[in-house]
Amino acid sequence: MNFIRKIIKSRNLKDEAFLHELRELLGFKPDDLYYYKKAFIHRSNKEIDKSTGLPLNYERLEFLGDAMLSAIIASHLFKVVPSGNEGYLTQMRSKIVSREHLNVLGQDLNLLHFVKSNISKSKFGINIHGNVFEALVGAIYLDKGYRYCEKFIQEKVISSYESVKELEGLITSYKSLIIEWCQKQKIDFNFNVYEDTGNDPVKHFSVKLSFDDKIVGKGRATSKKKAEEIASKRAYFAYQKEISKTL
């Protein structure tokens, strides 16, 4: 407690403004700003924690937040779906904590606004939003404990879905779905990936997805994974009726 009081007394105007914004964001008053400041420091800032001599950034908090999200959501699903087996519960949890969902949450909360870095925020990939969201969850746990962390996750993450039934129909990976369907239907599929930079300063990849040598979807993005997902999504909507009948 003495340590916390010293921090409170030594707050400057920036700290007070940060504290005010955090209270609005979290719905409660943080005790120790140190954890929250750390949750928004990007590794490009190259700060060193004076007390440990280790790099000062959000990555360790991101790891902790990921674990807390997984545990709290697993507990929630265990309670609300008493008939669900291990495979079903694992699948539902994966949908709730999907990178896509966490990125949307981070964007909705405008967490990038708080990030401190030495590179332009325009150069960050989309996953920065989800990474910082996880780091924030880790900071809440260290500062306020399990109960506050659970309440935050209930309000910001779990409440995004009205019911588990809604989750069942959620597609988190079109590529995985397409592969599963093709294997069940004994359809030969192929992701033809090639570099397609053109006049863009950033490297791009293009993908042509084929079923039995027929092109059924195309995608282009800054990574092979994203391009494959785009091509798979287009193929899914082209074959949605057939896929829905057999999966």
| Tens digit of each residue's pLDDT (9 = 90 or more) over 106-148 | 999 999 999 999 888 878 888 899 999 999 999 999 999 999 9
Dist. CA 12–CA 161, nearest whole Å: 39
Name the more confident of 47 and 34: 34
23-44 pLDDT per residue, tens: 999 999 999 999 999 999 999 9
Longest dimension (CA), the chain: 70
Residues forming the active site: 66, 134
Taking CB atoms within 8 Å and a gap of at least 24, the contacts of 101-108 are 101/130, 101/157, 101/160, 101/172, 102/129, 102/130, 102/133, 102/134, 103/127, 103/129, 103/130, 103/133, 104/129, 105/129, 105/130, 105/133, 105/156, 105/157, 105/160, 106/130, 106/131, 106/132, 106/133
197 shares a domain with 135 = no
pLDDT in the model for residue 55: 82
The pTM score is 0.69
The answer to whether residues 14 and 49 belong to one domain is: yes
**213 and 144, same domain (yes or no):** no
Q: Are residues 161 and 196 in the same domain?
A: no
Q: Which of 168, 201, 226 is the last residue in one of the domains?
A: 168
Query: Residue 167 — very low, low, confident or very high, per pLDDT cuts 50/70/90?
Result: low
Scan for tokens 């140190």, then name that residue.
Answer: 34
- 188 Rama sector, left if φ>0, alpha if ψ -120 to 50, beta otherwise: beta
The residue range of the domain holding 192 is: 174-246
Whether residue 6 has pLDDT greater than 70: no
pLDDT in tens, 91-102: 888 888 888 889
Looking at the chain, the whole-number percentage of residues with pLDDT higher than 70 is 88
Do both 151 and 61 map to the same domain?
Answer: yes
CATH at 210: 3.30.160.20
The residues pairing with 217 across neighbouring beta strands, listed in sequence order, are: 209
